[in-house]
Structure 1
């Protein structure tokens, strides 16, 4: 195909963006995993070479820092022909000098420009008259270009009857589906509570689980107790994306959990961290817990980041980066809220933005994309309508749960629901017999409003001690939606 002068001009602009993008990645390699760019997407052979080098060093060799020594050692291990080509393009000096002239804060713009010119070049190849309206197209960003072209095509096909849905025999591939289910691939990690897991049936990849409760009930408490023991026991990597509780708070909770759940004959309340002046026994228990946790997690089993300003875009970038670069499949977002940079008041539009953010998140974690699982905590409305919890108790924002596979709602059991009184809950214990709830203890009742892998007809009762980070399975109960 003979390329027109206009096409060559587009290619020239694309290659400039490629150089800026690749140099930005060398300047700040942490940015590499935030972008889904394949080597063939880079038109310029020289920048394709430099991008390929960086890709191998970060994904295959898993280097954290990329410098001249790392690049030169890599090149020396390659063929003479590649070494000659590398030298002919200026070697590492091209990276060193170029990186000094680039502001990596603009990497989003450089990446977008690569995509924009790639699309424009493809449109020219397909015969679209881009040159004729270049004054209009040249001012469009990638998103504007996409919206404009989709709008043009939609208006053309508005009244068309496509009829192009794929029709398949419903039993085709059924044996492969059975084998996959039997292997447990689709099951996902279990929750630490056998009782909760019997309802939830694991945290399947490609899905989002939302845990909702009122402020102060214990969303983070229950999250830690249900997820971290499983990840530690099975050595399955996990990333925690927090925006309310800092690392020290999670460390205190982990130490408290380890002491009260794994050390015999020892109790420790996490309020002691605020009081200080530990006695001899407490110091020994804390030292033992610290050593145990470091032995289990020093390899980076559980990663933690505290977002100073929460935004879904930041969270999604972290999921994409660590799912691609480190192969992490499980994530916690604690707590989901409106973007801090949205500058929005609590209005219908702000809730719509939150709902759209959840759709964006699901589009990243779904099976056809990164295929990971995200556990999201969320605060319920301040005034639940009754003692039966449902998606409606999320208030104006209830549609944020539309894309989740499991919606778990939790509340404390009230005093009137304990003991033998008229309002006492009829709890069926682990043995199948009815249990009376001790009026001196605290309990959670756990509801499922959505549960794609299980039922929603029963609720789970847990005995909890939020000061000692302990959770014990008690039994199941059936609470009617009419129950108040």
Structure 2
């Protein structure tokens, strides 16, 4: 059988047409396609590679004008585009393609890709291709029919990976850690940063609090630090609050937390309620205007209020923003079942978030609600998580938080480093609000530790004070 018969040129063209017709489909197939092996038609390989670069660096919307502008950015690319028929070719493919059939196009492309790769490796693939059942076969069926010597097959059937010899490169890895320690992005809570070894790519942090205790507010501080101060592309997905609420949280958290540089001394704080009611002083408005201009220049936070938040909806939005906008960190507020309170549904969503973090090499952060009886609990455990006790097994870092009853301040002390760099014990100050945090799971280091944070929800103020110890 000649090489030109070992391809399905029609499916290749219709696959490309489907992508240009419905670009969001790219997020479902980006990790599975390897154009070098999957497209036998050089024109379609060029169109796919161009689409990939267009989607990830230029725009997520398709129009003739935009495509022409993109192609024109590189003379050689434009020359090739014209030689393959230009926009008219794409337009014809889009007219013929049915995006609802893209999985069938994909399956056929992968089948022929695998057939060609087996042929290049010297396998007796002709017998398989000539078999009467071949038209109905999928790539997986072909692999099963060969059953032997399938090493070094370079196409990707469905995201599968090859095993590696563990320890083979250990010496090189140790040398790498000497110069580039395995520490992630800085978290604006120093003890969290130390315990978790920073916010590492592929890791999922889950923070749990009772309803009304400020889950979103703590998240807003971390999001603002990563996505605004450091200008690292960050996605914030929410299913309970609206953009206006997050706008207000961002204004107050930046104004009142010293990490952002706009708070100078005690008394400088601005109440979030005053911002919302338009009751700030002239000096405060001047500072807020300065903050707004700074945010406008620095922000890399992409915010989306999810009306639908099924696992499929979440996956699509995360992939769209990672592939199209280069997002490196993702927040999800709040973890809960979609159209159900079944705990298994929440665990599945948590698993989906963790899988996305690992697959896309991004950092993930999610909030979850603790049960109402947590207020009566001295020792926080994952049993306090509403509807989803099993998610502890999925996440990398699990933090459980609760407000400390002022009547019980005398039971605790704060262990912290003083101005001389020495450890000391400090009394909890009456008139202030403190949250204890139990580090219930930590794939970065120690677990079971209890921390203490000073909190002022009205000002969105979060100050990590040290470790919590019993008197």
Q: Is 1:416 matched with 2:416? A: no
How many residues end up aligned between the 2 structures?
430
Distance 1:305 1:26 in 2: 24
Q: How does 1:124-143 map to 2 (within 5 A)?
A: 125=125
What does the per-residue CA deviation read over 1:380-416, in whole Å, with 9 as the maximum and x for residues that have no partner?
2333372211222225522223121111111111123
What does the per-residue CA deviation read over 1:246-286, in whole Å, with 9 as the maximum and x for residues that have no partner?
22111111111222232435332112244345553443333
Measured after TM superposition, the shift of residue 179 of structure 1 is 3.1
TM-score normalised by L of structure 2: 0.79
Give 1:439's match in structure 2, choosing from 430, 434, 451.
Answer: 430
- 2:362 — aligned with what? 372
Distance 2:84 2:469 in 1: 70
Q: Is 1:24 matched with 2:24? A: no
**2:415 aligns to what SS in structure 1?**
strand
Task: Label 1:165 to 1:45 Cα distance change in 2 as closer, same or farther (>3 A).
Answer: closer
Aligned 8 A contact 1:34 1:318 in 2: no
Measured after TM superposition, the shift of residue 178 of structure 1 is 2.7
Q: How does 1:194-209 map to 2 (within 5 A)?
A: 194-209=190-205
- 1:294 — aligned with what? 296
Aligned 8 A contact 1:34 1:321 in 2: no
Measured after TM superposition, the shift of residue 320 of structure 1 is 2.5
Give 2:173's match in structure 1, choosing from 146, 158, 177.
Answer: 177
Distance 2:78 2:283 in 1: 65
Measured after TM superposition, the shift of residue 120 of structure 1 is 4.7
Aligned 8 A contact 1:57 1:66 in 2: no
Distance 1:427 1:81 in 2: 68
Task: Label 1:38 to 1:134 Cα distance change in 2 as closer, same or farther (>3 A).
Answer: closer
Stretches of structure 1 that go unaligned for 5 or more consecutive residues are 154-163
- 1:92 — aligned with what? 87
Aligned 8 A contact 1:53 1:71 in 2: no
Measured after TM superposition, the shift of residue 49 of structure 1 is 3.3
**1:99 aligns to what SS in structure 2?**
helix
Stretches of structure 2 that go unaligned for 5 or more consecutive residues are 119-124, 148-161
Aligned 8 A contact 1:449 1:456 in 2: yes
- 2:307 — aligned with what? 308
Aligned 8 A contact 2:335 2:349 in 1: no
Task: Label 1:289 to 1:80 Cα distance change in 2 as closer, same or farther (>3 A).
Answer: closer
- 2:413 — aligned with what? 426
TM-score normalised by L of structure 1: 0.77
- 1:382 — aligned with what? 372
Distance 1:166 1:229 in 2: 37
Aligned 8 A contact 1:33 1:322 in 2: no
Give 1:239's match in structure 2, choosing from 228, 235, 238.
Answer: 235
Task: Label 1:165 to 1:326 Cα distance change in 2 as closer, same or farther (>3 A).
Answer: closer
**1:78 aligns to what SS in structure 2?**
helix
More divergent stretch after superposition (71-80 vs 311-320)? 71-80
Measured after TM superposition, the shift of residue 225 of structure 1 is 2.0
Aligned 8 A contact 2:249 2:460 in 1: yes
Task: Label 1:130 to 1:430 Cα distance change in 2 as closer, same or farther (>3 A).
Answer: farther
What does the per-residue CA deviation read over 1:201-237, in whole Å, with 9 as the maximum and x for residues that have no partner?
3111111111111111111111122342244333322
Task: Label 1:227 to 1:57 Cα distance change in 2 as closer, same or farther (>3 A).
Answer: closer
What does the per-residue CA deviation read over 1:88-127, in whole Å, with 9 as the maximum and x for residues that have no partner?
xxx31232354356565x3xx41x2133224555479485
- 1:212 — aligned with what? 208
Distance 1:35 1:219 in 2: 34
